[in-house]
Structure formats: structure tokens, C-alpha cells
Amino acid sequence: MMQNRSRLFRSAAFVATAALLLASCGGGGGGGGGTPTPTPTPTPTPPTGGLFTPPSPESLSVAEVQTILANAISEAQARGLPSVIAVTDRVGNVLGVFRMTGARATATTSPAPNGANIDAQNVTFPAEGGAIAKAVTGAYLSSGGNAFSTRTASQIVQEHFPPAPTTIGLESGPLFGVQFSQLPCSDLSSRFGAAGTAALIGPKRSPLGLAADPGGLPLYKNGVLVGGIGVMGDGVYGSDPNILDIENDAEEYIALAGTRGFEAPSAITADKITVDGTSLRFSDATFAGVMSGGGASFASLNGSAGSLVAVIGYANAAITAGVAYGTEASGIRASTAAEFSNRDAFVLTDGAGTNRYPIRAATDGGAVATPLTATEVRALLEEAFAVMSRARAQIRRPLDSRAQVTISVVDTFGTPLGIVRSPDAPIFGTDVSLQKARTAAFFSHPQAGAELGANASADVRAFVPAVRSFLNDPAALTGTVAFPDRANGNLSRPYFPDGEVGRPHGPFSRPIAQFNPFSTGLQSALIIGNLGAHLGFVSGASPTDTPARCTTLPDAAPGQNRLQNGIQIFPGSVPVYRGSTLVGAIGVSGDGIDQDDMISFLGAHNGGARVGGIGNAPKPIRSDNVVVTLSGGATVRLRYISCPFAPFLDTAQQNVCDGL
């Protein structure tokens, strides 16, 4: 089990036998066959606040960034591995990039297992991009309650969890697919040097999404998360396929040396957190193995060991002080009473006081008969925030901490109608919650198949007949089924059912012989053109950056498609309906995927009960009605959502989603 009674994922979500049909009981997460006994579901008045303590306003000074870089440079010298080293603050601003003399100019992603490289496999890019992505990952996956690294990321994004030769046959990692978030094309992420924006407004994008290559660690100051460090030196940008051995990874040692004096608190590092009895990994490097003594002078190294470098789209050739998270200047701050009723809520801001994603009515009135109103959107967000405020966190220390997440609501065009977050929710969940909401709205939409079929890429277009054939349903992706992200994830794994070796891949995935974390299937195919254009821009080979919109899907509204920051393929979203008509979706991301499912599902249910007229999808069209026949005649249902059995801190109530 995890540190509490809830779990990050179900280790046996699918068992392919003719006798077992795994349903989610009309939306619940605890049941198998049969009709569940409805459980009263709380519909509390949203609490007014005071349940969360915002992080202290700590930040890195120029001198502190210099110290971090100097310690990392000294370790790289001791190990004979000239490297590129990047430091970011918590919201992704690049505070400095140092290229050591003799460091490799480029890095290359892992190739396809069968050698037929596709998507982001076997891609060579500037090494600075890898260092920045690793630093962003260390900062974005962490919080005041958990410290995660790129090694942690490696463990939770692969096709089996935990990844090791002896675990083949287990389900995929709980955050499978998260590597394709924080994308350089995301319309949520702010950009360095963008006209009309303050320089330090976050969250910032990453050149490569999130990294799974060891060598990226978070940075803490006085116990408060203030950023991340990333190291790219060996030219290989991959992942660790075997957690059973202890690696002697020079990049990780260099990063660890850089954290000297800014180490993550030992009580919250990933190795203190378990998933179904498996400890997560934080770092194979320890200070006992660090070769340098610390205390190096940056002034003595700058110019002799290498130099600060500019990175197109990310940094000047200088060191910048970090911004304190939670301040207006950081791009994320406490909400005002007019913006959100709960005083614990934080919002994204433009640096000049304006909420970037204020609560508003839907923009799809020309396509939806009765679109979401601002009052309805407010009810969805407030009720979801109330559920979060009562929920027990999964990946947060100390035990029985409250869950912290980001919550996004979109209309059927994918337009954000409001984004709110708790004070210490991990930053990665901001972009991911919007991806999840858009994914649920898109795949539940009547035009999903047609728009994928109109994509500029033949590869993307081919996923439409593949899913229709796989489900034996020529009407798939025409709005006949409500697809939350859990069901979309079921169809996006390289084995179906998930983890069962020898089974064919899901119709949104690559075959296992083609698959690795750089080529997941439809998810990566949709954005590979954007990623390629951006890396050409970063390298200086192209003067044109990718636009702030991912995918080449047709516009749903002028200048806007439904998936402006890509799709996500791990759980935490549900579509929202008015009767039998899709009107939008809610996405949640933060402290655990079962919590994310529950907060989105109960938020939609409770929000609908509060205002009337909207809510979760009608039971007959939910994805858990879809039965897939496997070879040999066995059958398996798709899932809808999966809620923790006893998730709340203020009650022992169990199976809180059953019967709804």
C-alpha cells in the first residue's frame, strides 16, 4: 500500500479471463460484477479556506545559483565528464545554463526496440535542451510534501511498474504518458522573452516535456522547494529500465553535488513513498560517493572551466535570480475573494494582477444548444476543490496530508473556463490537468473521429480505423461513448489488457516492439511535428518556433483546436454533460491518480447537484459499458473512473463513487 489506504493505481486493473469483467460500477472504483449498493455521497458547502499553509516565499539569489553551478562543475571536473548544467526556479524560469569546455554539443533519445525509429525516438538535439528538461522535471514533479527526480519519473512512465526484468507482466507506470506534458507548444505555458510578458511569469514550458533520464533533482531552500538542477553530459537521453540495480550515473552525481546546501528534505524524498509496497526511487547517487568537496568559487570556474551560454527560447548567457513561488511575479498566486470563494485557492496570473484563466461561460454556444454558464463552471470548480480539501493525499508526506491538485474546466472547444489549484500542488499538474480535461472532452465529442481523420499526418489518421476495428464499433469516436482519461489510457497501452505480455497493443498505442517512452502512440504522434519544429528553433537551424498550439487538428473555433496542449493518457478527468449532450470536461492532476479521478468525478456530480442540469455522463454511455473481446474469447471492459476506497480525512466512508 501507499502511505495511506488509497492507492496510486490498481496493480490488477485487468485480468483477461472470460469470467471477469472489470467494470467501474457506473463510475465507482471499488466494484467487480453485480449492482453496487449506492453510497450517500457528501455534497458539502465549499469550505471557506484555512486548511492549507502556502509555502514560504523563498527563492534562489544570483549568488546561490552560482554556488549550485560551481558545485556541479567541480564534480563534473572530478569525474572527467564535461557537462551542460542548468538551474531553474520552481515555475520553470531558467536561471542559468553553463556549458563546460569539451561538453558534448548534443544528446540523443533512446531508439525504438526494433530499430524502426518514429516520433521522438533516436532524435538528436542540443544538450542544453536535455539539461533544462531535467531541471524542470525535478522542480515540477516536487512540492513541499514530496521530492521527485528524473529517476523517479523514469520509474513511473514505463510500460511496466516497477520497471525491471522480473516485473514484465505488471501494469504500466502510474504516470504513464506524463513525459508528453509541459510541451514546448503548450498554450498554457509562458515563454521566455515573449513580447508583452514579464520575464519571470510561469509556468514555463520545457524543450522536451518531462525527462526520465537520471540527472535531474529538485532544489530546496530552508525546506522550501525553489527549483531544480539538470545535467546533460553523456549524450544519452533515455530512462532506467531496471530499478533493481544501483547505477553509478555520473550525471546524477554531478546534479547531487549541485544540490549541496539545497538538498531535498530527507523525510519527503521519493524513496520514502511507496506504491503498492514498492518504494519509489529518488537518486542512486549519494553524498558518500561525491568526489568533490564543495565550496568551489563560480568566479574562478566561469571562463576557465567553460562559460554561461544563451539558449534560444529559454535563457540569456547570464545568471538570473529565481522568483518566489506564490507571488504575483511568479505567475501563480493566491486568489482574490472575487476570483474564487475558497480562500485556499491559487490561480495563474499574468504578473500584472490579472487572472489568466478566470471563471467564465463557455465559448461554444454556436455548437452546443445550452453551453456551460459561468455559474455552472464555478460550481464544478468549487465542489471539486471541496472534495480535494477533504481527500487524503497519496504522494505527500507526512502521512494523512490533504491532497493538493490543480483543477481545470473546459468547454467542447477545449477553451479553459477556469483553472484553480491548491497552494502547494506540484506545478506539473497545471498543464496536465488542462490536458486531461481537453482529452476527455475531445474523445467524447461527436467530431473526434472526423477531426483525427482530417489530421495532416497519415500516422495520426490511421488511429481512427484502428480503434474502430479494435472495439468492433464503426461508430467509435462519434460521441456515442463518454471517454474519461482512464478509458483513454486503457486504449493507449502497449499491451491490452495493460501489462499482459503477449497481448496486442491498445489501438492508441504503438506495438511493444516499436514502443518506448519517446513513442507512446497517438499521444506522441499528435505533437511530433511541433516538437521537431521547436528543437530546430532551439538549435538555431530554424528561425521559426512552434506555435503556442499543439497538433495539426482542424480548428474548432478560429485559431483554436480542441487539443492546444496535447493529450494525456493517465487518469484524472471526466466529461461533463447536460442530459445526454456533452458540454465540457473537468481535469485534475496532483497528488495521485485515483484521487484525481475521484475529485473530477465527484466534482462533476456535486457541482451538478448544486446547480442542477449538468453532471457526469449518463450511465448507459459511459466507457465501462464497452466490452472488448480478446483472442480466445475472453472479454474485458474499459474503465470509467477508479476512486479510492476510503479517501477522506474527515470520515471513514468507503467506495464514495459507487452508484453515482
| Predicted local confidence at residue 19, as pLDDT | 28
pLDDT digits (tens, 9 = 90+) for 423-449: 999 999 999 999 999 999 999 999 999
> Distances from the Cα of 171 to the Cαs of 429, 493, 519, in angstroms?
22, 9, 18
The mean per-residue pLDDT over the stretch 235-242 comes to 97
Antiparallel, parallel or unpaired: β 306-308 and 346-348: unpaired
Confidence of residue 45 (pLDDT cuts 50, 70, 90): low
Percentage above 70 pLDDT, the chain: 92
CA-based R_g, the chain, Å = 23
pLDDT tens readout for residues 463-517: 999 999 999 999 999 999 999 999 999 999 999 999 999 999 999 999 999 999 9
User: Which cell numbers in the block locate residue 106?
Assistant: 548534443
pLDDT in tens, 566-619: 999 999 999 999 999 999 999 999 999 999 999 999 999 999 999 999 999 999
Domains 62-308 and 335-438+570-621 in one fold = yes
What CATH number labels 62-308? 3.30.450.150
- Of the candidates 485, 507, 476, the residue with the CA atom closest to the CA atom of residue 435: 485
What does the pLDDT look like over 525-543, one tens digit per residue?
A: 999 999 999 999 999 999 9
Look at the domain 335-438+570-621 and name its fold.
Beta-Lactamase (3.30.450)
Q: Which sequence spans correspond to the domains of the chain?
A: 62-308, 335-438+570-621, 448-539
At 316 the three-state DSSP class reads coil
- List b or e across 521-554, with b for residues whose CB sees 16 or more CB atoms inside 10 angstroms: bbbbbbbbbbbbbbbbbbbeeeeebbebbbbebe
Check pLDDT > 90 for residue 16: no
H or E segment at 342?
Answer: none
* Start-to-end C-alpha separation, the chain: 26
The pLDDT value given to residue 135: 99
Query: Based on the number of CB atoms within 10 Å of its own CB, is 632 exposed (0-12), middle (13-18) or buried (19 or more)?
Result: exposed
Mean pLDDT of all residues in the chain? 92
pLDDT for the residue 200: 87
Interior angle at CA 590, CA 589 and CA 591, nearest 5: 135
Strand segments, DSSP code E, in 440-501 are none
Check pLDDT > 50 for residue 18: no
Q: From 351, 349, 103, select the one nearest 231 (Cα to Cα).
A: 103
Between 193 and 69, residue with greater pLDDT: 69
What is d(CA 101, CA 80) in angstroms, rounded to the nearest whole number? Answer: 11
Cα 301 to Cα 242, 261, 324: the distances in Å are 36, 19, 27
Read off the pLDDT of residues 282-291 as tens digits, 9 standing for 90 and up.
999 999 999 9
